[in-house]
Amino acid sequence: MSCEQREIERASQTLRAGGLVAFPTETVYGLGVDAANPDALRRLFAVKGRPPSHPVIVHLARPAELTCFARDVPPVARRLAEACWPGPLTLVLYRDPRRIAPEATGGLDTVGLRVPDHPVALALLERVERPVAAPSANRFGRVSPTTASDVRTDLGADVDVVLDGGPCRIGVESTIVDCTEPEALRVLRVGGVTVEDLTAILGYEPRIGGATRASGTLPVHYAPRARVELVEAPAARARAEELLRADGARPTVGLLGLEALPVQLPRGVIVLDPVRDVRHFARVLYSRLRAADRLRIDVLLVIPPPPHGLGLAVRDRLSRASRAGQ
């Protein structure tokens, strides 16, 4: 048995025994428990510090399992699953109450399902042979982890096993599509599958937003300790100067963004490593927000990417992070 297989075996046994296992996915690291074990689910919510009314996503090994855990699956959901799974898309469907514990879904009669596109996650799900409920492996409201060491830093001894699959390829969470009204699909959270991708699959552009209990859709979420301020590139210099001119305790100011480098900055502003393009921005977003905290930046000015493709998800996370300081 290879080292990785041994680790997966240990993680699988931990899940079966009701333990907590952090594992990599293509989006962010998840903190998994057996989705049918109410005690394990209660411990998961306690460790995350998450209100029990907030549902978690249930991860499956194979697209064909969709109909095992949801009922009344409309053809459009099957089409989305076929096109995007394994991948960064979560489908909200009516829950099969015999297979998914209500504790996993905050008591809702729906469930968010997805098949992650990461070899370690898929090997674990295959091995454990049961669905795994897994929110992002961070404390509630904070920045999602994109490396195993982020998970250890955040959760320490509260997690039983951490599987290390390297840095996450996409870096922002899955897109969530509510399919409970197939005639009126709604994108509850923009993420790794772009609205352009969904439009190409569906033949029309789905609606974005809507009332939900999705915690990743709360106005304040994904927040570092630094105050995040969104600025357009031409205004960045003036805003940095204004912050640095303040009397008394001058804040440590940082800058992040695609166009960060061409902007002329006053001395003293800490420029975080540049981002090359929107995909790269998404991949490094959370690690840059964590770096801002490590560098003790008080105010992080961020020049957001254009609002299309993955840029939409990056802007969404940034705007939620920016509201935390208000």
Q: Which positions touch Mg ion (CB under 5 A)? A: 136
Give the closest residue to 68 by CA, choosing from 44, 100, 26: 100
Dist. CA 293–CA 254, nearest whole Å: 10
Q: What is the smallest separation between the CB atom of 248 and ligand TXA, expressed in angstroms?
A: 38
Q: Where are the alpha helices (DSSP H) in the chain?
A: 3-16, 38-48, 66-69, 75-84, 119-128, 148-155, 195-202, 233-245, 278-294, 310-323
For the bound state, the minimum distance from the C-beta of residue 62 to Mg ion, rounded and expressed in Å, comes to: 24
* Binding partner at 131 among ligand TXA, Mg ion, none, C-beta below 5 to 8 Å by kind: none
Among ligand TXA, Mg ion, none, partner that 133 touches (CB below 5 to 8 angstroms by kind): none
Residue (86 or 216) nearer to ligand TXA, CB: 216
The smaller minimum CB distance to ligand TXA, of residues 28 and 278, is found at 28
Query: 258 burial class (0-12, 13-18, 19+ CB within 10 angstroms)?
Result: buried
**Shortest reach from residue 261's CB to Mg ion, in Å:** 31
Residues that bind ligand TXA (CB under 6 A): 25, 27-28, 30, 54-57, 88, 90, 92, 105, 108, 110-112, 116, 134-136, 173-174, 176, 188, 212-217
Question: Regarding beta strands 70-71 and 30-34, do their DSSP bridges make them parallel or antiparallel, or are they unpaired?
Answer: unpaired
Q: How far is the CB of 110 from ligand TXA (least distance, A)?
A: 4
Contact 18, 34 (CB under 8 A): yes
Binding-site partner at residue 27 among Mg ion, ligand TXA, none, CB < 5 to 8 Å by type? ligand TXA
- In the bound complex, what is the minimum distance in angstroms from residue 168's beta carbon to Mg ion? 13
Residue 282 burial (C-beta neighbours within 10 Å; 0-12, 13-18, 19+): buried
CB closer to ligand TXA, 172 vs 263 = 172
- Cβ–Cβ < 8 Å for 37, 101: yes
Nearer to Mg ion, 236 or 324 (CB): 324
